[in-house]
A and B are shown apart, each in its own frame.
Chain A
Amino acid sequence: MSPRLLLLLFLRRWHARIGLAAVVFFLFLAATGVVLNHATDSGLDARYVHSAWLARCYGIAAESPRHAFRSGKHDLIAANGRWALDGRIAGEKLPRPIGIVELPGMIVVASSASLYLYGKDGVLIDRLESSALPAVPVQAIGAGARQLVLRTASGTFGSSDALSWQPAPHDVVAWSSPADLSIAEGERYAQMLEPGISVERIVLDLHSGRFAGRYGPFAVDLLAVFLAVLSLSGAWLFLKRKHRR
């Protein structure tokens, strides 16, 4: 048998073997690649998987909720950048709250640099960043004489609509303060407020191999080499056959 024929047989055999061995991985890479290409359009970047196990994989230590802020019939518990307002999740990537105040027609949650205004049904009415506040950082939020009151280093300011602010007296204000959670509440909210990882990020890490740890990307590199070998051997076999004809 001529050396050229031997090489042809060798290539054909290994072309088939590599193709068969890698077919699952290639399909997986193709599928995750397509998903990533359309991740934003399909809203995968805004969807989160909440799991303490997954967060541990990413080296994120889950924070346990310790306090509740209460005002009237409303309560707010926060952990891991998430808020549970009256038992409903209010969103992701939220700042650490410093208090909650119930006003006629709305609930106001304050962080040190922003205010979140919710309707009584928990729908977000408005979000005011530092430029819309009379001063920052906000040190405390409270209610006084049917108006919202903010305490800052620059003074105490009041507003009935969270639009226009006036200096306000600070001695007749019921300031919002954290209350301890019971053990049962703590456990319930710890589960509800588990940290989240976006679906897009998980798919990206699966696609790149990073999800498998340090050596994952090298495994994906190896698959890329296999794909290159398959392409070259396939092309060579095709051209050889055509040439023979």
Chain B
Amino acid sequence: MNRAARRPLAVLALALAAAAVHGEVYQEPGAFIAEVFGSTPAPKVLWLTKELQAQAAAILGHAPPQLRQRYWSGGGKSVWILEETGKEELITAGFVVVDGRIDHVRVLEYRESRGQEVRQSSFLKQFKNAKLAQGNRLDREIDGIVGATLSVGAMERMARLALFFDRLSHG
């Protein structure tokens, strides 16, 4: 490939790299946790044994990225900061679980170039009071967003995982 022919690819590579690093932090995880509890409690840890990894993998559709899941709990609430890939980049979201139901959800960081609509409250309110049903599925259908199908799927998987982890954390 000659130099002239390579130039558009270099430009494309730079554009894709720029898109890859495009991301917006809406709230730092620490600030979200402090907002939920009024202060930041010490983190607790849930270790994923092989059996739990398999169950988490069934929810996510892939192996969980790590074996140690940090969470914060107190006053009947637990907070889970989770990450899942939408199309190409990770979405970071915070889930507050009370009595086995999702109290509220917030997208903390969105790195994809499209699909930011999943951070809108009109979408997130669908998760309010959602709980796990049979097969570790949500007890309701989450309406999709045109153009953000993969991000919606990622949010739903994280919601299921947060509820699953919350159940485990109660022993």
Contacts and interface: CB of A to CB of B under 8 A. Distances in A.
A59 interface: yes
Interface in B35-62: 42-43, 45
Given A213-B5, A213-B6, A127 B70 contact: no
Contacts of B133: none
B4 interface: yes
Nearest to A215: B5
Contact of B4 (A56, A205, A210, A213): A213
Pick the most buried of B5, B45, B87: most chain A CB atoms within 10 A of its CB. Answer: B5
Contacts of B13: 58-60
A191 interface: no
A123 B67 contact: yes
Interface string A201-213: 1000100001111
Pairs A-B, 9 closest by C-beta atoms: A213-B5, A59-B10, A126-B68, A131-B30, A58-B13, A131-B29, A125-B68, A125-B67, A214-B8
B11 to A, nearest CB: 8
A12 B94 CA distance: 63
Interface in A54-83: 56-60
A56 B6 CA distance: 8
B5 A205 contact: no
Main secondary structure on chain A at its contact with chain B? mixed
A163 interface: yes
Given A59-B6, A214-B5, A124 B66 contact: yes
Interface of B: 1-2, 4-10, 12-14, 16, 28-30, 42-43, 45, 65-68, 70, 85, 87-88, 150
A104 to B, nearest CB: 15
Given A125-B66, A201-B16, A58 B9 contact: yes
Contacts of B14: 59
21 contacts: A40-B87, A45-B88, A56-B6, A57-B6, A57-B9, A58-B10, A117-B68, A119-B67, A125-B66, A126-B68, A131-B30, A132-B43, A163-B42, A163-B70, A210-B8, A213-B1, A213-B2, A213-B9, A214-B5, A215-B5, A216-B8
Contacts of A182: none
A154 interface: no
Interface in A176-211: 198, 201, 205, 210-211
Contacts of A205: 9, 12
B92 to A, nearest CB: 9
Contacts of B1: 57, 213
A216 B1 CA distance: 12
B132 to A, nearest CB: 24
Contacts of B43: 132, 163-164
Given A57-B1, A124-B67, A213-B6, 11 more contacts: A40-B87, A45-B88, A59-B9, A119-B67, A125-B67, A163-B43, A210-B12, A212-B5, A213-B1, A213-B9, A214-B7
Interface string A122-163: 011111010110000000000000000000000000000101
A56 B2 CA distance: 11
Contact of A163 (B28, B30, B45, B67): B45
Contact of B70 (A132, A210, A216): A132
Nearest to B42: A164
Contacts of A214: 4-5, 7-8
Interface string A28-59: 00000000000010000110000000001111
